[in-house]
Chain A
Amino acid sequence: MSSLIAKTIEDLPYSGIRRFFDIASEMKDVVSLGVGEPDFVTPWHIREEAVFSLEQRHTMYTANAGMPALRNEISRYMSEQYGLRYHPGTQILVTVGASEGIDVAFRAVLNPGDEVLVAEPCFVSYKPCILMAGGIPVSIPTNAGNGFRVTADDIKSRITGKTKAIILNYPNNPTGAVLEHGDLEKIAELLREHKIILISDEIYAELTYGNTPHKSIASLPGMYDKTIVLNGFSKAYAMTGWRLGYACGSEELIAAMTKIHQYVIMCAPTIAQYGGLEALRSGKKSVASMRKEYDVRRRFMLSELRKMGIDCFEARGAFYLFPSVERFGMTSEEFCTRLLQEQRLAVVPGTAFGECGAGYVRCSYAYSIDSIKEALSRLQKFINSL
């Protein structure tokens, strides 16, 4: 008997995170370093503006691509922050989280059998979204030796006649890696020669630490027209539950994405768009103070992990560290499962983000220093018991 479920969907594996979540959520007193979202509540001035929008009866649909006022602000922000000029009327699409942007971008550009290069370890949705759009994901593994930065050579060796697109995510989830300016230039140099669309997921752009601020690869010569920049409000403004993101790109690409968006989404939630508007207009200070706090935790956690003798490269972005657990002689899955069962501490196995994540675990530092201390003391106990 043939299945009721479409073959593509039936063949799609459940996310490794999901499996882990099922175990963890059954247990009590679990301390977690496993989340991919800020611990901060959305700043009050943003929440207040959203409440006000409801009081003002703003409860209807907006334009498909998003409220013009919001797109104006996004346009201004992209220009001021990254030197990228996008016309608010034709080059910006407001999406339901950057997640929708990922889905719609792939569907807009892929024909059946097209290959998409995916630098791994990576966010769990990329490969499924490519598969659901009829594409074929082609992994590009990266490694700790190179700070989990993908190189132009890595990319070059995997380009075939079928390569249609490449997706990059820096600052990276799950490794926290960022690309240096030199990396970007070499990648741009390579991609300029090929007819390949670059989908650049820059959702963590605001969470870049150290002296070099985030630079969008779309701002490099020759990259503007072939790059779709995905960004959103979730990470920078602690607005995960609002589900609000945006895509910027050439008129042609954004028009195609908007076509899909208008049929399947209509428009991003109006109340969230009002919140987003306030976030862009006056959220700069809130972002800076959260960034500072993350940076404090980043240094603290990195130093504590290293003190325990755990090998970990210094991540300069997002809110993750990606330490190696190879020396404990277990797979990352085993390590995480035992850590959860024996010390009730949840971290995510690196393999949930691609095969090359084997031997690593993702630790989020989107937690208060006190919670991180408690988590690390459990980790220490676990290591001592081995």
Chain B
Amino acid sequence: MSACPDKEALLHGLLDGELDAVNAQAFEAHLKTCAGCAAAFTELQGLKARVGAPGVAWRAPDALRQRIEAMTAPAPPPRRTLRKAAPWAVSGVFAAIAASLAVMVAQPIAIAGLEDELVASHVRSTLAEHLVDVQTSDRHVVKPWFNGRIDFAPPVIDLVDQGFPLAGGRLDYIDHRVVAALVYRHNRHVVNLFVWPAKPGGAEPATIARGGYSVVHWTERGLEFWAVSDIEAKDLASFERAFQAHAPS
């Protein structure tokens, strides 16, 4: 017993509530008299219930949710002080970050918003399991991965011989723009190297200590590099030297 061949559109249309009143009424009347169509309709209703059952649809993982919420957080005012109430800090999961920010807030140091953003991003990357989007030590995989995702090409080099094996790459959102983050490991620590095109009059090269984190900044071939890690400043400085020495020229 099967449905009338010419009634398929009506069958599905009724099931999906897409028929207008006249057609719906007419087809419901047909269902009362046609056993084949009625059976097919019942079968489709059963299928609809199984497909629509709870659990069949996927839910976004929390880590993804947090990344996207951080990405779309309202821009802080340009001359901000430290972000005491960063939007993502509101969520309970980020209580740990909030705590670490609070430590930084407590320090009587001058404000440099970008560095705080970089350090916060570094901390976030290690807490929220969003260390890498592309996880590989193969620079030939990491480099093309950035293609089409950002409009510049960060130099991707592996520094395994210098004690900084490449762990992967990631997109991040710093200073109102999407940036590349190269992730290196050093013993059990993580070095995030943020890269984006330099603007004229950018910051001078510098080494900064900030709340237990070291930040090293340099500019090379029109790109700004910011390395952030919890390793010691001298180790991060040697990372910079190694990177500069091996960067393609």
Tell whether A pairs with B: no
Interface residues in chain A, defined as those with a beta carbon under 8 Å from any beta carbon in chain B: none
Interface residues in chain B, defined as those with a beta carbon under 8 Å from any beta carbon in chain A: none
